[in-house]
Structure 1
Amino acid sequence: MKPLRTGCALIALVVATPALAQTPGADELAALVRAQAAEIAALKARLDRLEGAQQVASAPATPGTPPVAANTSPPAPVQLAQQARRPQVTSPYAPQLVPPGPAERDVTRAREANAAGVTTEWGAGLPVFHSADGVFTYKPRGRILTDVSTTFGSKSDTRNITTTGMRALRLGIEGGVGTHFFYQFETDFSENEVDIVTAFIGWRNQIAAGLDYDVRAGHLFNDRAFEGSTGSDSTPFLERSTVSTAIIPQRGFYGIGIMPRLFWKTGHASFTITGDRVDGNQAVSDSRTILARAHWNPIKSDTGVLHLGLWGFDESLSSAATTLTRNTVIGGRFNGALRVSTGPLLGGTGTTGYGAELGGYAGPVWVMGEAGRRNARLDGGRPDFVSKAWSLSGGWFVTGDLPPYNPRLGSFGQPRVLRPVFDGGPGAIELTARYEDLDFTNLVTGGRGWAATIGANWYLNSFVRLQLNVIHWNTDNRVGAVTGEDDGQTVSTRVAVTF
């Protein structure tokens, strides 16, 4: 590199020497010198970048000439003499006198990626990355659900409280390799705890036209009931109905196992076998849960759907999971004193639950009814503990948007807002109502409760929403801090962002 630089300097010296200029005038000579100096500067800058030097100490081109920094144009004798009084002549070449900084390097990388065919698309608030050959995809995931709840009207001051909470605070990733392999991972940080939620790998393929399947293995979310199969960021109310929260395996909404699913044009079916959810207990065998669900859309059009669904599960409990005590929410999640309770219940050996779904939508109006029953088997020859729950809910998008029904999974997803607020529209406004009932009275210590909810949802766009629920609740617990019949009201609000 150094001989090339010396040659460049000599060329500049020859060009800049007046004795070698034959016919050009002084002005032409000055312009020529400035152009040649700019070209030399550009060449030196390129050489500096190739050598990876941030700053190259340059030697004087001729004896007595001061050193020239790598990031400045080398002074030419005629240029220095005439620069102050001659108009500048723009060189046809654009020298880069400063090595690229971080921002410029990012732009360079982006241009190189774009030239290679790497693409991104923006969906629900974050980009989806695609490799040039389409083999690899990657997308960040997350949800932020922030709630405020206040309860009043109870006969007990312990229930008349105001609280705040993060219903979900999740961060994760999803992606795929090729057309078949896919994966997803999410962790939740709400309630000051780190909790692994969805975490699986999967394989998908097509059996025939209109018939395909996937198989997922890992930490899996239940496919059970309509609202129970809907993510916490997509439910039309701040909390799922009692069917989803009470008629549930003892291990909860998640378990480690495998889930094959079959999809056709008007429905789907799934089968799941899992052990416990993520935990650190490997001293005893896990509980074993088998769960199945199917839904069918006998009527399906662009503006309407009829939904039918059936589901059930059977659970054999681990020796470390024999406690069946339940305290189920009835007036909102963030009031720990407001629950329907079974009282202490020990000695469980297994549970069996099942339920049905009937509903659908026509235009902007939707209705969904659900019912379920759970039998918990007890040791010592005691009769089963039976839980029963049902709910009826509905909604109306006053802005004319369609309900966010997902016909592939038979659940709710993110809405497709026709006129988002961020584009100058009103967003999507939905009015909702629900009645739900829960009965634990098969047990001597078991309670009962019901709740009627009216609500409003304002979807600013497909991934930002504001929610309001006003709940009138009634409980009749036989044990606990508040026994006997009690009723009151709870007002809850939520700000939700999903991406």
Structure 2
Amino acid sequence: MILRTGCALLALTTATPALAQTPSRSELADLVRAQAAEIAALKARLDRIESGQQALVQAAPASAATASSTTPPIQVAQANTTPRTTTPFAPQLAPPGPADRNVAQAIAARDNPSGVTTEWGSGLPVFHSADGIYTFKPRGRILADVSSTFGSRSDARNLTTTGMRALRLGLEGGVGPHFFYQFEADFSENEVDVVTAFMGWRDRIRPGIDYDVRAGHLFNDRGFEGSTGSDSTPFLERTTVATAIIPQRGFYGIGIMPRLFWKTGHASLTVTGDRVDGTQTVSDGRTVLGRAHWNPIKTDDSVLHVGLWAFDESLSPAATTLTRNTVIGGRFNGGLRVSTGPLIGGTGTTGYGVELGGYRGPAWLMVEAGRRDARLDAGRPDFTSKAWSVSSGFFLTGDLPPYNPRLGSFGQPKVLKPTFEGGSGAIELTVRYESIDYTDLVTGGEGWAGTLGVNWYLNSFTRVQVNGIHWNTDNRTGAITGRDDGETVSARVAVTF
């Protein structure tokens, strides 16, 4: 700063001969005042930069996400040395996008503008305006599957099929540190299906306690795998708890979701109507859903996860069918399901479940269980669905499981040695047992499945998955009744950006 002031004086005396010869007292006073103002402005700018660096340290590891081509790499590296226990996002996760950042990360991005910038984190860039106010990111996912079933006593189940589990395009962004939005549409069935579509507001109640409120077409916050996106599940298909103990409207509904976050957990409450549709001639159904998770143990390489959730729904007069055909051996074999049999005249359902698990080093374990009670009209008795699962995984490459302590779910991993940089990627072995029981109904079936899998994460947004499933079903209605078992081998190539 002194050097800059001296240079300015030298330049002024050189460029102004009159001053260089005999400067008057008033001219010298004006010069001193001008230099004092410049020094004050430089000091204020330095203070802003230092406060921004502190915000980045508090928000690590997402400081890497707010780095741009003009941000000094040394500053980013320093921010990433923050201990894992102080961050709301685990360091083994890819940096969150504009709609998933917390308040500290959003403020850090706003308060450190350096012109129009672009950051590359997970496949596609995040754009920032010159003043740091506006952020924008394209997003999407491509999940391509192949599945082959054999060993069934029915040839109708011994199929080899292909399918797109997800084919999505969307965007997300924010205005300032508080307002954010996200939109995605899915094209996997050659039809346009609106999935996530919401606007939100986030803020801090006090240090260590944040909140956000989302409104729009919302993804359920329900159970561990039920709250994990299709691009982040450790198996090709979610557990039977996530696919069977669920509101009749499915994974999405239009409504509002406030969420509260603290250092060791979060809680959410969702109130929605039906999912996006074109029916406005009858009232929507109503679903109230709550979930909370807690990490009583949270260290550099260990987490204990405890979760509870519940929902209650009142069905729309236009949606009284409660028939369920639950996936048990892979999504892309339509004949391989566990069925309730035809069931109409539903008025509502109530469901609840528990989650218990965590990870230590490269190994993780999760147990989930749930129950759903469905109410029928005309004085008929309710019926109960039950499901449970035990899942586990181990990273041979030493990577930590991609557990998100902020949301209590899995996210996109930050691979230690990406294959595109000459590394081995991250290699994970997985195993799961799951069960579904609809036998409370006279027409209801039951089934279970055991799965062995391997996941190869080439980098934070590209993966290859293979699952080998031994399944067993006992349906009382449908094209294939009685006990049956067999094997399904499925594979997936996935890119998320």
TM-score range, shorter chain: 0.7 to 0.9
**1:478 paired residue number:** 476
Please tell me whether residue 264 in structure 1 is matched to residue 262 in structure 2. Answer: yes
**1:279 paired residue number:** 277
Separation of aligned partners in 1, 2:316 and 2:177:
38
1:159 to 136, 139, 157: 157
**2:492 paired residue number:** 494
Please tell me whether residue 420 in structure 1 is matched to residue 418 in structure 2. Answer: yes
User: How far apart are 1:116 and its partner, in Å?
Assistant: 7.7
1:246 to 237, 244, 247: 244
User: How far apart are 1:473 and its partner, in Å?
Assistant: 0.1
Equivalent position SS for 1:190: coil
**1:442 paired residue number:** 440
**1:212 paired residue number:** 210
Structure 2 matches for 1:55-134, cutoff 5 A? 117-134=115-132
Aligned residues: 385
Structure 2 matches for 1:364-383, cutoff 5 A? 364-383=362-381
Cα deviation 1:253-289 (Å, max 9, x = unaligned): 0000000000000000000000000000000000000
Structure 2 matches for 1:20-39, cutoff 5 A? none
Separation of aligned partners in 1, 2:337 and 2:264:
38
**1:389 paired residue number:** 387
- Equivalent residue letter for 2:314: S
**1:49 paired residue number:** none
- Equivalent residue letter for 1:315: E
User: How far apart are 1:383 and its partner, in Å?
Assistant: 1.1
1:407 to 405, 414, 428: 405
Separation of aligned partners in 2, 1:383 and 1:408:
40
8 Å CA contact 2:356, 2:368 repeated in 1: yes
**1:202 paired residue number:** 200
1:361 to 359, 362, 365: 359
Give the fraction of aligned pairs with identical amino acids, expressed as a percent: 81
Equivalent position SS for 1:191: coil
Separation of aligned partners in 2, 1:408 and 1:490:
35
- Equivalent residue letter for 1:170: R
For normalisation by structure 2, the TM-score amounts to: 0.77
Equivalent position SS for 2:275: coil
1:291 to 289, 292, 310: 289
- Equivalent residue letter for 1:450: W
Separation of aligned partners in 1, 2:321 and 2:298:
44
- Equivalent residue letter for 2:330: G
Distance 1:124 1:478, change over 3 A: same
Separation of aligned partners in 2, 1:380 and 1:319:
14
Please tell me whether residue 138 in structure 1 is matched to residue 120 in structure 2. Answer: no
Equivalent position SS for 1:244: helix
- Equivalent residue letter for 1:364: P
Separation of aligned partners in 2, 1:344 and 1:332:
22
- Equivalent residue letter for 2:148: T
**2:66 paired residue number:** none
Cα deviation 1:366-405 (Å, max 9, x = unaligned): 0000000000000111111100000000000000000000
- Equivalent residue letter for 2:455: N
**2:37 paired residue number:** none
Equivalent position SS for 2:420: helix
8 Å CA contact 2:114, 2:131 repeated in 1: no
- Equivalent residue letter for 2:307: G
Separation of aligned partners in 1, 2:452 and 2:119:
37
Please tell me whether residue 336 in structure 1 is matched to residue 334 in structure 2. Answer: yes
Please tell me whether residue 236 in structure 1 is matched to residue 226 in structure 2. Answer: no
2:428 to 423, 427, 430: 430
Separation of aligned partners in 2, 1:264 and 1:181:
20
Equivalent position SS for 2:242: helix
- Equivalent residue letter for 1:123: G
Note the residue ranges of structure 1 that are not aligned, 5 or more in a row: 1-114
Please tell me whether residue 312 in structure 1 is matched to residue 310 in structure 2. Answer: yes
Q: How large is the RMSD of aligned CA atoms in angstroms?
A: 0.8
**1:192 paired residue number:** 190
Separation of aligned partners in 1, 2:322 and 2:300:
44
**2:166 paired residue number:** 168
Q: Which structure exhibits the higher relative contact order, with contacts defined as CA atoms closer than 8 Å and separated by 6 or more residues?
A: 2
Equivalent position SS for 1:415: coil
- Equivalent residue letter for 2:426: A
8 Å CA contact 2:138, 2:170 repeated in 1: yes
Separation of aligned partners in 1, 2:130 and 2:264:
34
Separation of aligned partners in 2, 1:130 and 1:235:
30
**1:468 paired residue number:** 466
- Equivalent residue letter for 2:476: R
Which structure has the larger Rg over C-alpha atoms? Answer: 1
- Equivalent residue letter for 2:418: P
Please tell me whether residue 457 in structure 1 is matched to residue 484 in structure 2. Answer: no
For normalisation by structure 1, the TM-score amounts to: 0.77
Separation of aligned partners in 1, 2:215 and 2:448:
37
- Equivalent residue letter for 1:401: D
8 Å CA contact 2:340, 2:441 repeated in 1: yes
User: How far apart are 1:461 and its partner, in Å?
Assistant: 0.2
Separation of aligned partners in 2, 1:156 and 1:474:
13
User: How far apart are 1:416 and its partner, in Å?
Assistant: 1.2
Cα deviation 1:121-166 (Å, max 9, x = unaligned): 0011110000111100000000000000000000000000000000
Moved over 4 A (4+): none
Separation of aligned partners in 1, 2:218 and 2:300:
31
- Equivalent residue letter for 1:446: G
**1:29 paired residue number:** none
Separation of aligned partners in 1, 2:210 and 2:121:
25
Equivalent position SS for 1:245: helix
Separation of aligned partners in 2, 1:236 and 1:294:
21
**2:44 paired residue number:** none
Equivalent position SS for 1:460: strand
Note the residue ranges of structure 2 that are not aligned, 5 or more in a row: 1-112
Separation of aligned partners in 1, 2:401 and 2:133:
33
